[in-house]
Amino acid sequence: MTTGLLVSQIGYDLRAPMRAIWRGALPEGAMFRLQDESGQTLLEKPLVFWGTCWGSDWWIADFSELTTAGTFTLTLEGPGFPTVTCPPFNVGEYHLWHSTVKTVAIEQFERRAELARFGNGWKDCGGDWREVGSHTAALIGLLDLLHIGLEWLGRADGLRLARQVMHGCDYLVLCQQRAADLGWPTGAVVHEIPNHPVLIPQDQGQFVVALAKASRYIYELDRERGLDYLNRAAAAYEFLTQKCQPSSLPHFSAQLHGVPEGYLPSPLNPLPKGEGDSALPPLPPGEGPGVRADDEGSGVRKTGFMTADLLMMVWGAVELAKSGRPEYLEEAIRRADQILSRQVTREAPEGEFYGHFYAFDDHLFTEKAFLHHHVGHDTSLMFNHYLVPLLDLCDLLPEHPDQPRWRQAVRDFAYGYFLPACQKNPFYLLPQGYYAGQGLLSFCGPWHGFNVCYGYAAAQAIRFEMAFGDPAFRPIAVGNLQWICGLNAGLTSDSFEGSVMWREQLPEGKAIPYSFIEGIGANSVKTWSRIPGSIGNGLCTNRQFYMEVEPTVENDIPCRYSDEDWIPHAGGFLSGLVHLRMLMNWSPK
């Protein structure tokens, strides 16, 4: 039995939920005692048994009633139980913000810009890749920070952040220029330079969102650059919605999606020769298949996009409209209708859940939170459960006759899936998804941890609290952020089976909490780049870059740590962080 006292390694914010968690068995009557630096006891309460999941028992020590800043320790004791005291931790006003934001958002990305190939874009994952999907997912979080948090950053750091936004966007511009030079239609974007000049729908959608958002905030610093970003985002949107076809690239993983081996989305499913049709122009010589779903006579069936792709179309149109191009909202309305047609209904739930979405029009399986492996079909999908674009569409078109339907769809997801699914584990962590015959799984499936989704889940939870006036979503926001900050399931002696470069000697049978942000926190992980502020991939069941563990409830244990530092994790964390600070300064009307 693995045991450990799990406490945030960075600390806690006043006015936010504050908890420590014991992993393992405890006797009846176990208590916890919270003491300040002088040894004075401020709280003494019983631990609350949460239940069993992920192969362990979990007990909660909630000290949210604490109202004073300072340094504290927490001690567990019980009948026949050896006393356990954690190292000191800090509590303060906006403590997570002050401890992390400058290092993660500015210093880290400045260093990555220095180390990137020829100084273009940011040093990205473990190799020399600079993927469009990773840059856009990082930029979206940086732009949330620039938009919401500029006054808290101050002028000097705000300008440093804006320069990094431009630096990241300029690499995306280069990827769009590369696609044009290879003969792709206007607006197309290659996945990566120099190794992977293929076209992936999710890249296109995230490109639109990132550049359209950037155009608004960069305009006053560099008018020509801001206008160029907007025009390029519009061109990419035209390509995505008018010419792009669902991905016919390889690397669809039935295991990752939770469907039987042999299932393929119909773009990859061959038909008798002559039954396909396509209006796309010929492929550039020597290039891969890109997103071309069906070549005339090739025998490949045309089908709809994944729901995640449709959601990016809505989001892209929303960002273009906010940037002064409202004509794109008609496409958003059309795609929103397609998304709603795939929603799991209250009358036909998946297990006990409803409101989430099927991946395709065949309604055979629902979307998972995170899809990313190799380069191909399952690449860069990190916003699959992120419905904030539909909330924004409601705000932009409050009088539209479909607005109540959009808002109800978001409410159904928030209360039918998001809230109850996150409450199914003691950390309020966003699950990977629902797997037929198994139920919710949190760590099975992906080939490395997906900390990026936890950060964006925190941001979405805060948007739900603000939209519905319901503080029930706040523990989800804080829990997903604190998972990255160190209040997580802990690392064990077996965790490093999933790590490639980092090793520690940990005592057998003990779970040790680590901050997943390099260089920040009492205990913090080490990542491939060794750049302070980098966020590692996180916990999963598979070895890093392999999908070999069958996704079952029995296997769903956070047992392996993935040490590669992929830049989207910073984007998600920063988005959640700045939304949390905004919430602390917000009151319902």
Mean model confidence pLDDT for the chain: 93
**Given a cut of 90, is residue 439 above it in pLDDT?**
yes
Range 218-236 average pLDDT: 98
- pLDDT the model gives residue 433: 98
Shared fold status for 4-92 and 95-246+305-584: no
- pLDDT the model gives residue 125: 85
The Cα 7–Cα 18 span in angstroms is 10
Please report where in the chains the tokens 């940011």 appear, as a residue: 122
**Given a cut of 70, is residue 449 above it in pLDDT?**
yes
Angle at 553 between CA 549 and CA 555, to 5 degrees: 35
Distances (CA, A) of 534 to 206, 457, 484: 22, 19, 11
Nearest to 97 by CA among 562, 481, 386: 481
| Per-residue pLDDT reduced to its tens digit, 316-335 | 999 999 999 999 999 999 99
The Cα 192–Cα 56 span in angstroms is 41
**Given a cut of 70, is residue 420 above it in pLDDT?**
yes
- pLDDT the model gives residue 353: 98
> pTM, whole model, 2 decimals?
0.94
- pLDDT the model gives residue 267: 72
User: Structure tokens of 241?
Assistant: 């919605």
| Per-residue pLDDT reduced to its tens digit, 13-52 | 999 999 999 999 999 999 999 999 999 999 999 999 999 9
Amino acid (1-letter code) at residue 508? E
**Given a cut of 80, is residue 589 above it in pLDDT?**
no
CB proximity list for 170: less than 8 A, separation 6 or greater: 120, 121
**For 119, which DSSP code?**
G
- pLDDT the model gives residue 299: 34
Ramachandran assignment for 527, one of left (phi > 0), alpha (psi -120 to 50 degrees), beta (any other): beta
The Cα 366–Cα 360 span in angstroms is 8
- pLDDT the model gives residue 284: 42
* 60-64, 267-271, 391-395: segment of lowest average pLDDT: 267-271
* Residue bearing the bigger pLDDT, 301 or 586: 586
Instruction: Give the DSSP H or E segment for 507.
Output: none
Percent of the chain with pLDDT over 70: 94
Percent of the chain with pLDDT over 90: 89
DSSP string for residues in 437-453: TTEEESSSS-SS--HHH
**Given a cut of 60, is residue 291 above it in pLDDT?**
no
CB proximity list for 231: less than 8 A, separation 6 or greater: none
The Cα 493–Cα 117 span in angstroms is 36
Strands 56-62, 12-13: pairing kind: unpaired
- pLDDT the model gives residue 264: 85
User: Structure tokens of 443?
Assistant: 């760590």
For the chain, domain boundaries: 4-92, 95-246+305-584, 266-280+291-304
User: Structure tokens of 107?
Assistant: 């210093």
Amino acid (1-letter code) at residue 553? V
Amino acid (1-letter code) at residue 421? A
CATH number of 95-246+305-584: 1.50.10.10
User: By the 8 A CB rule, do 542 and 500 touch?
Assistant: no
Distances (CA, A) of 74 to 6, 101, 354, 483, 541: 10, 26, 39, 19, 30
Domain 4-92 architecture:
Sandwich (2.60)
* Residue bearing the bigger pLDDT, 308 or 283: 308
304 confidence band (pLDDT: 50, 70, 90): confident
User: Structure tokens of 445?
Assistant: 């499936």
Nearest to 164 by CA among 117, 118, 208, 102: 102
> Dihedral of the CA atoms 9, 429, 571, 217 (nearest 10)?
-120
Range 408-416 average pLDDT: 98
User: Structure tokens of 276?
Assistant: 């396909």
| Per-residue pLDDT reduced to its tens digit, 238-274 | 999 999 989 888 999 999 999 999 898 877 765 334 3
Distances (CA, A) of 515 to 99, 164, 252, 483, 572: 12, 25, 32, 8, 15
